[in-house]
Chains A and B, each alone.
Chain A
Amino acid sequence: MNLIVAILSGAVVYAVSVLYAGIGETFTERSGVMNLGVEGIMLMGAMSGCVTAFHTRNLALAMLIVILTGAVLGLIFAFLTVTLQSDQTVCGMAMLILGTGLSGFLGEDIASKPINLKFTKIPLPVLSEIPIIGDILFNQNLLVYIMYLLLPLATFYIYKTRWGLKLRALGENPAVLDAAGENVFAMRYGYIVFGTTMMAISGAFVSLAQTNVWQEGMTAGKGWIAFALVAFSSWNPATLALGALLFGFISNLGSNLQIYLPGVPTEIFSAMPYVATIVVLIISTGNFRKKHTAEPAALAKAYDRESR
């Protein structure tokens, strides 16, 4: 039983570390824009949070800077993809490369130095006393709890509000919205900036909650996983959370199987999360029965008024 608690609680932490970025990317893609630069933006967030925390010893201020960093990067990306209508894949790659380089460069002074300031675990009164679930869900840090609130809000926003309806239309057929007098460009700007801000927070989660140190390239592929999970979850935040949990669960399980299934090459367990993602993706999104795909129809297509 202890084992399962440990595996699941590890899975929750893992899930949250990619969920901020995942939700950000979900909104961005729902608005019809694909941002491949998640990893680079996460690194910028991780770095800026650490640098601020190191110099000011103030976590709140650090998070504010993280959000600002994300927003600035988002504005650059939005300018390129929305205003200049440039190719989104290559813009995403540019953000990735820029973020990786810039974060290493700006963070050099504090690289690998312990910050000794982080989001510590706060057991919630009463709730954390619940057997099993309490320890898994309610003995976590503040950013995890915020995610608990954010997840239902995000899902509700997309599916149940007027704004969410517009967001979905924006990704499906922006021309219709434009014709209805909505400002397509402003909306896309907003969702892109929201997305990059969330990605930056994901990065800060890695550097200020999971550890408390900045090291070059420390997100080690999480951004890519977040990106993959978004399409995996059919652009639905609730499914996204399940996907992230599953991914975290399987990689935690692999660690345990090394002990309990000796003799099997450990690489097999280490590859499990990736294999599982492919298999689940094929099963859940394969249109064996001609199912309608949830992919926003206008995804990765720049909106050009004149060719309306």
Chain B
Amino acid sequence: MKKLLSLLLVGVMVLSLVACGTKDKDDTSKGKGTKDVSELVIGELHYSVVEDGGWAQAMHEGIVKACKTLGIDTEKQLLTRENISEEDIALVESTVEELVDNGADIIFGCSAGYATILAEIQPDYPDVIFAQQGNDVYDNIVEFQIRGYEGEFLAGYLCALLNQGSNELGFCASMDEASVRTALNGFALGAKYANPEAKVQVIWADSWYDLDIESTNAETLINKGIKYMGMEASSPAIPQKCEEKGAYCIGYNIDMEANAPKAVLTSFVWNWAPIFEDIMKKTAEGTMKNSANYYEGGECAQLADFNDELVSEDIQERVNELKDKVAKGEVVIYGGELKDDKGNVLVAAGQTMSDEDILAQEFFVENVVGGK
């Protein structure tokens, strides 16, 4: 027994020596400073595989695109880590450590759930930039978010324009989370902009991924007489149900036209590349601040190409006109007077909602029916 214990102790000591040794080496070879941007090593954390046909895929494509623009070799310098579930804190921490060991200069947390974990361990890795999708909550990690409501606003506008003779639009939502509310409220506001009488009936799946419930919900809306709907889901179940029943929808996350060419009018797509490019450039220059926050609209929150078979040129033009107006600030999406679905005034006339409130999305706008 004694022998065993002493052996164990020796083992532990040897290990600790080895660990200390490697740490020392790291400290000398690394340090904040300038670097050519093409030499950066990028790490990314995903909660699923990147080919999820939705959120993770859009995020990954953004990173790849940014890397390509900046001449970063995605084969060697982009470290993609998939299936790192946000609930398993120890796994996330292990992954971060491993990425840092492999020389990562930036670690992208590609799902909001990593925020608390990364913020807590950031002090242990002062030389690494942590960039996290999420609201501006923490001062020690870079956070980025897209004004998704801008794209959804256009989508809602498009649907309401097409929805001649009816005021009812639909929306298939997954779970009651801020990102989902952003999409839903943006869609409803766009519909209202086109048609002040427009109402958006929302229906919840209460699940992030469930083919049956998603297609059932789409069918429920169609049976209620709704022909145009928006959605927040990663599977192609809703577009396919619409195609089968002769209804139309707006894809989400990535361009979904190929999944249901007779139903998808266009898709709301995340274009993360500009944000990532900026983070990468600044990190290389050594000017990236940990407290930075990105909240970008414009080219980041866009609609994919229109489905020319379903959306006439005239309508396309009108949507594009509105896009320019939003870009120029002529149309303020969260401008007053704005009421919530219970009749309370959210924003008084002549004022604009703060970004903080827009990000938190603790409301449903006036013309949403079926909000929680």
Q: Which residues of A contact B (CB under 8 A)?
A: 2-3, 6, 10, 14, 17, 104, 108, 111-112, 114, 116, 121, 206, 210-213, 215-218, 220-222, 248, 251-252, 255-256, 258-259, 262, 265-267, 270
Contacts and interface: CB of A to CB of B under 8 A. Distances in A.
B48 to A, nearest CB: 7
6 contacts: A104-B49, A218-B211, A220-B209, A255-B217, A255-B220, A259-B220
B92 to A, nearest CB: 19
Given A210-B211, A266-B204, A258 B223 contact: no
Interface size on B, as a range, is: 35 or more
A262 B370 contact: yes
Interface of B: 48-49, 51-54, 57, 201, 203-207, 209-213, 215-217, 219-220, 223-224, 234-237, 240, 244, 258-259, 369-370, 372
Contact of A213 (B53, B205, B206, B209): B53
Nearest to A269: B206
A43 to B, nearest CB: 13
Nearest to B221: A259
Contacts of B370: 258-259, 262
Contacts of B215: 10, 210
B258 A112 contact: no
What 6 pairs between A and B have smallest CB-CB spacing?
A: A112-B53, A111-B51, A270-B206, A266-B204, A255-B220, A114-B259
Contacts, number: 98
Nearest to A4: B223
Given A210-B211, A255-B213, 14 more contacts: A14-B216, A111-B53, A211-B236, A212-B240, A215-B234, A251-B213, A251-B216, A255-B216, A255-B219, A259-B203, A259-B220, A259-B224, A265-B372, A270-B207
Contact of B220 (A104, A210, A221, A256): A256
B203 A258 contact: yes
B82 to A, nearest CB: 9
A248 to B, nearest CB: 8
Contact of A112 (B57, B211, B212, B240): B57
Contact of B219 (A10, A217, A262, A270): A10
Contacts of A222: 212
Contact of B51 (A6, A112, A252): A112
Given A251-B213, A255-B217, A218 B49 contact: no
Contacts of A213: 53, 235-236, 259
Listed residue (A2, A248, A256) with the most chain B CB atoms within 10 angstroms of its CB: A256
Contact of B52 (A17, A215, A251, A259): A215
B48 A216 contact: yes
B211 A258 contact: no
B212 A210 contact: yes
B211 A114 contact: no
A14 B204 CA distance: 18
A258 B51 contact: no
B259 A255 contact: no
Contacts of B209: 215, 217-218, 220
A267 B211 contact: no
Contacts of B213: 251, 255, 270
